[in-house]
Amino acid sequence: MFTHYLPLIIFLVICVVYTIHRIKLVEDTESDPMQFYYSYYANTRYALDDHMYRFDVRKVRGKYRCYILRTPEFRGRNTSHYLPHYLTDGNEHYICWTGAIIYPEQAKTLCKNWADATQQFIDTGVPAAGFSN
């Protein structure tokens, strides 16, 4: 009696199993992505001035690295005594950090702190603690 429904039942079971598997893959990727972009508006006293930073956060050898895509202009500040704490990978700059960045939230925190310290220098000309030569 139900044999004519058997192909439909098998198809539905396969669809459910596939959907569950896809959901698991998406959840795994979202909790630990290989790459994501992060934008941050740094703390500033001058809200009308540009203070937007953009980062390309990528996993490199199992740890996150925060590549700097955009910073505001330095407004003519003399950067000879300012060390912006970034390293170079080919033609790309990334935030210099010696600790292991394992989780996306750690990477976002590093981007925020770096942007706020850089913005302090842009606004005042005074480097944040640890950012001067």
Residue-wise pLDDT for 84-127, tens only, equals: 778 899 999 999 998 999 999 999 999 999 999 999 999 988 88
Using DSSP's 3-state secondary structure scheme, residue 82 falls into strand
- Each residue of 43-81: b (16+ CB within 10 Å) or e? ebeeeeebbebebbbbbeeeebbbbbeebbeeeeeeeee
The answer to whether the predicted template modeling score (pTM) of the entire model surpasses 0.85 is no
Residue-wise pLDDT for 66-77, tens only, equals: 999 999 988 888
- Domain ranges in the chain? 1-31, 34-124
